[in-house]
Chain A
Amino acid sequence: DTEVTQTPKHLVMGMTNKKSLKCEQHMGHRAMYWYKQKAKKPPELMFVYSYEKLSINESVPSRFSPECPNSSLLNLHLHALQPEDSALYLCASSQFRGTNEKLFFGSGTQLSVL
């Protein structure tokens, strides 16, 4: 299994809603990532988890709250989002063993905030 699975594929939410994005991989990877991608722009790193611990937070607003319950799962909890947060949210994973690092990406969740 060489897939990173993201759910849901599409999400529409109001600014007062609370929702969660989910990401799952069964490749034994020990690093997992959240990226945000606006239309016609490159992905921007938000968070990195290494061995289930948050290792990188790229100054992301607190309305985005990541969680890594175990080595296979990564969640992104959303609360009180703004319309400008509408974007494609990509999850990725990597081995975290130094010599063969590459990112495996999921297909993303297309988020619209109304």
Chain B
Amino acid sequence: AQSVTQPDIHITVSEGASLELRCNYSYGATPYLFWYVQSPGQGLQLLLKYFSGDTLVQGIKGFEAEFKRSQSSFNLRKPSVHWSDAAEYFCAVGDRNNYGQNFVFGPGTRLSVLP
């Protein structure tokens, strides 16, 4: 079974600063990889996903992520953070053997943004 770790429980950055959120996964093959964002009391919104091909993927809201097979990582980056980016961020892994149905989420990283 796949698993996901996000080493940082809480990160605080200043508005305009760059951001990197870390994600490491465990899976026997190349997984489906996702980043979702959740505002308080809301559902999850997909930021970006990786299935195959180019290991640098672009998402919405200026986010990007890079898949590194050798490090089993899929870190999320943004060059300049906006106050509206404050939210909970979840990395997720989908199982290729079951059309990705067995989505497993990491524990999440809470992002705070200082004015």
Contacts and interface: CB of A to CB of B under 8 A. Distances in A.
A31 to B, nearest CB: 6
* Band of interface residues on A: 20 to 34
A13 interface: no
Interface residues of B, number: 24
Interface stretch (A48-56, A65-73, A78-86): A48-56
Nearest to B103: A103
Given A42-B90, A42-B105, A96-B101, A88 B44 contact: no
Contacts of B49: 102
B4 to A, nearest CB: 8
B42 A107 contact: yes
Would you list the 6 A-B pairs with minimal beta carbon distance, nearest first?
Answer: A105-B43, A42-B105, A101-B100, A105-B44, A107-B43, A98-B99
A101 B43 contact: no
A105 B34 CA distance: 14
Given A42-B90, A45-B104, A92-B44, 9 more contacts: A33-B103, A40-B108, A41-B108, A42-B106, A94-B101, A98-B99, A101-B32, A104-B46, A107-B42
Given A102-B34, A102-B49, A56 B43 contact: no
Interface in B35-68: 36, 41-46, 49, 51
